[in-house]
Structure 1
Amino acid sequence: MTRVDFYVLPGADASARRVFACRLAEKAWKAGHRVFIRVNDTAEAGILDELLWTFRQGSFVPHTLADNYPNDPLADVLIGTGAAPEAFHDFLIDLAPGVPEDWARYRRIAEIVDQDEAVRQAGRQKYRFYQSQGMEPSTHKID
């Protein structure tokens, strides 16, 4: 069964959501998971691609854009706008609005929500969806 966690950030800063996603991706990768970060568009994918190298001093998270996979088979973190390749079913970090079509194939989903009204509304809709599927999402307020 899929585990869903909602991480609620205090501000409405999109860059804070991205940095938090990078921290989660690094933690999951270090724990041995393959991670897919789902974003809304290619511009956002490019921002995260750069940020994964620079979000903190000394950070190293082997990653690539989903369009480059499988040409870069050593990357354990992928960033993309659609469905992840089959090999990436451990951990989904979801920054895109709407529930991913392939949500049920993931072992764990992290939804990152901030105080931006559109992001909050999308988060509420996702929360209700997961509940309607018989799941009990956990909520974590981040300071």
Structure 2
Amino acid sequence: MTKVDFYLLTSRQPQASKRFTCKLIEKVYRLGHQVYIQVEDQAQAQEMDDLLWTFRQGSFVPHALVNSEEATGTPVLIGYDGEPGGKLELLINLGAEVPAFFSRFQRVAEVIGPDETHRHAGRQRYRYYRDHGCSLETHELNF
């Protein structure tokens, strides 16, 4: 059974959701886990790629876009247009919809921003996961 964690962020600071996501990715990577980050499109994939290089001075999170030459053996992958290959443990979903392949992951993280559009979409995804028998946990963070 897939465990899904919802991270409800309250900060309205610009880029707060993206900074939190980068810190979460860094923490999971340092714990030795394989991560797939699901984004909406190429532009968001490139933005996440750039942020993981620059979000914090001295941070190093080896990552690559799924279809790039660097993807093989990289512990953190970013993609948007299909199911990733390989053995990955954590899915961080930054997309608006639940990926059809979510159940192949042990864990899923949903990062929900403070605005009502994100909250509404997050509630829909919560119901979807609940209806599919997932173990759900919610974390409210002042981030």
> TM over 0.5: same fold?
yes
Which segments of 5 or more consecutive residues in structure 2 lack a partner in the other structure? Answer: none
Q: Which secondary structure state, in structure 2, belongs to the residue aligned with residue 131 of structure 1? A: helix
CA–CA separation in structure 2 for the residues paired with 1:74 and 1:10: 35
TM superposition shift of 1:58: 0.4
Give per-residue Cα distances to partners, 1:42-88, cap 9 Å, x unaligned: 1111111111011111010000111205x442321011113342214
What CA distance in whole angstroms lies between the structure 2 residues aligned with 1:93 and 1:72? 17
**Is the Cα–Cα contact under 8 Å of residues 92 and 109 in structure 1 kept in the other structure?**
yes
Equivalent position SS for 1:112: strand
What whole-Å deviation, never above 9, does each CA across 1:80-136 have from its counterpart, x for those lacking one? 113342214300111100111101100100000011222111100010011111223
2:42 counterpart residue number = 42
Q: Distance in 1 between matches of 2:83 and 2:16?
A: 24
Query: Which amino acid in the other structure matches residue 91 of structure 1?
Result: L
Mapped contact 1:5–1:110 kept (Cα < 8 A): yes
Structure 1 partner of 2:19:
19
Q: Give the C-alpha shift of residue 21 in structure 1.
A: 1.2
| 1:1-143 correspondence to structure 2 within 5 Å | 1-12=1-12, 15-68=15-68, 71-143=70-142
1:82/1:30 CA distance change after superposition, 3 Å? same
Structure 1 residues 100 and 131, CA gap change in structure 2 (3 angstroms): same
Q: Percent identity?
A: 44
66 and 13 in structure 1: CA distance in 2 versus 1, 3 angstrom threshold: farther
C-alpha contact (below 8 Å) 1:8/1:112 kept by paired residues:
yes
Q: What amino acid is the match of 1:22?
A: C
1:18: how far off? Answer: 1.3
Deviation for aligned residue 1:13: 5.3
Whether the 8 Å contact between 1:29 and 1:35 is mirrored in structure 2 is yes
Cα distance change on mapping 1:129 and 1:38 into 2, 3 Å: same
Q: Using structure 1 for the length normalisation, give the TM-score.
A: 0.91
Q: Which moved more, 1:58-67 or 1:5-14?
A: 5-14
8 Å CA contact 1:62–1:74 kept in 2: the answer is no
Q: Secondary structure at the match of 2:135?
A: coil
